[in-house]
Structures are given as C-alpha cells and as structure tokens.
Amino acid sequence: MQLSRRSFLALLGGLGITSAIGFSRTITDANIQPTITEAAMTTFTLPELPYAKTALEPFISAQTFDFHHGKHHNAYVVNLNKLIENTDLAGLSLEDIILKTAGDASKAGVFNNAAQVWNHTFFWNSMKPSGGGKPSGELASAIDASFGSYDKFVEEFKNAGATQFGSGWAWLVVDTDGALKVTKTANAELPMTKGQKALLTLDVWEHAYYLDFQNRRPDFIATFLDKLVNWEFAASNFASAKAKKAA
C-alpha cells in the first residue's frame, strides 16, 4: 500500500496519531501492516508503542517494554540505518528492503534488522489493552472454515509458539491459496517472504516474556490469546488481504 505524503499525514491524523514526521520514516499505523512510504526520507525511527507501556499490565510489564521496545526494537532500527546508509537500499520502503535482501547471505545483516523492525512493530499492534477472547464477523467465519473451529485454531497457534525451537514467531496468516494458516518462523523470518499475508503475530523470543513469565512460554502464549490479542487489528489485515485479492 503506497501513500503520498499528503495521504499518509491525513491517515495519521484520522487515527489520532501525532508523531512528528520530519525527515524520518515512521511506522505508526495501527490499522494496516507497517509500511514506510516516503522515499525522500532518509532514516527509520523507532515507532512509539500504540498504547502506554503500562497498558498491558499485569500481563506484560512496563519493565519488559523498557527492554523489549526501548532497547531491542530500537537496536534493530539503529543497526538498519547504519547498514543501509549510502547503499542502493537507502530510500526504499521497509518491505522492499526485506524482500530485496531475503535469501541473500551477503545481505543477512540488513535482512535480519529490517525484518525485526517490521516484526516488532506488527507484534505491538497485535496486542491491545483488554484484548483477547474470540474474534467476530468475517474473520471468525474464516477461522472456522480454515481450522474447523476457534478452539482448533487456538490449539494450532499454541503448538506453533511452544514448539518453535529457540527464537522466533508464531503467526496467523492468509496463505497463498487464500486460506488461513498458523505458521511459525525462526529468528527474523516473516511470512511476506513466502507470499503470505500476516494477520497477527506473537513474539516467542525469550526476551519477550522472561521478565514476566520466566521460562513458562506456554503460559505467555495462553495469556496472549486470552487477554491481549487484538482481533480488530487482525480483522483489518484480513479485510485488506481480501480487497487486494479481489482487485
């Protein structure tokens, strides 16, 4: 989705987002997948959380956000800017950088940092205060059609997150055939490199949950689904995927 500067600023205003744009590229849209569109801008900046860092307590603490967002996510942004400076990747959208460097061993550092900027921004938006529970509307129907029931989806999502060895992500995606699918990726890998449309994600890198859940990753996954998941964000992404397919 490519927006002109005027349209981009109008979208941010309509969402009540007031982050300064200036000459930076910012990922702040809570209703669509994070996109960088201003080719004239020169650096990526750390997007603000879509809620206060205390808003997801007692499930995710402000201390976790201080480290996970303030340090880990920020480090990916800083590293990416350094890696693309004065290269043919400077000025490209975040998605273009990811797709141009995916699978290229010589560009692994760029890919990993770019993908992790995208993944974390998408993860923050996959949660909300007073979230959790079951989806509704067309997304709920699509989950039933693809998995048989919401409970079956939950079973598959929990299994994906719990069995991802080491670091990685659990995802709900629209697969290339249009069906919904639960998948998992290692390290910085993400669905777009496989032509899939991400609807929501859960970060299962240990630093995402260790301060609050220690080594109890299954409890973190269950809490995400029961108390935190932002189904409105997922539904918006699902509607976007349907509209793109119909176009």
Q: Which tens digit of pLDDT belongs to each residue from 18-74?
A: 332 222 343 333 333 444 333 334 589 999 999 999 999 999 999 999 999 999 999
- What confidence score (pLDDT) does residue 21 get? 25
Spatial distance between the Cα atoms of 156 and 158, rounded to a whole number of angstroms:
6
The whole model's pTM is what?
Answer: 0.83
Q: Which residues of 62-84 are buried (b: 16+ CB within 10 A; e: fewer)?
A: eebbeebbeeebeebbebbbebb
pLDDT above 90 covers a percentage of the chain that reads 80
Return the higher-pLDDT residue of 194 and 247. Answer: 194
* Residues 181-203, mean pLDDT to the nearest whole number: 98
- What confidence score (pLDDT) does residue 242 get? 87
Spatial distance between the Cα atoms of 123 and 126, rounded to a whole number of angstroms:
5
**Packed helices 74-84 and 108-125: angle between N→C axes, nearest 10 degrees:** 140
| Contacts with 133 (C-beta within 8 Å, 6 or more apart), sequence order | 226, 229, 231
Computed over every residue of the chain, the mean pLDDT equals: 86
Q: How many other β-carbons are positioned within 10 Å of the β-carbon of residue 101?
A: 24
- What confidence score (pLDDT) does residue 243 get? 87
Whether residue 16 has pLDDT greater than 90: no
Whether residue 96 has pLDDT greater than 80: yes
* Residues 191-212, mean pLDDT to the nearest whole number: 96
- What confidence score (pLDDT) does residue 3 get? 35
- What confidence score (pLDDT) does residue 122 get? 98
Phi, psi of 46 (to 5 degrees): -70, 120
Phi, psi of 16 (to 5 degrees): 75, 20
Contact 176, 196 (CB under 8 A): yes
Q: pLDDT (tens digit, 9 = 90+) per residue, 126-178?
A: 999 999 999 999 999 999 999 999 999 999 999 999 999 999 999 999 999 99
Spatial distance between the Cα atoms of 168 and 227, rounded to a whole number of angstroms:
21
Structural domains in the chain, CATH included, are 5-51+60-125 (1.10.287.990), 137-246 (3.55.40.20)
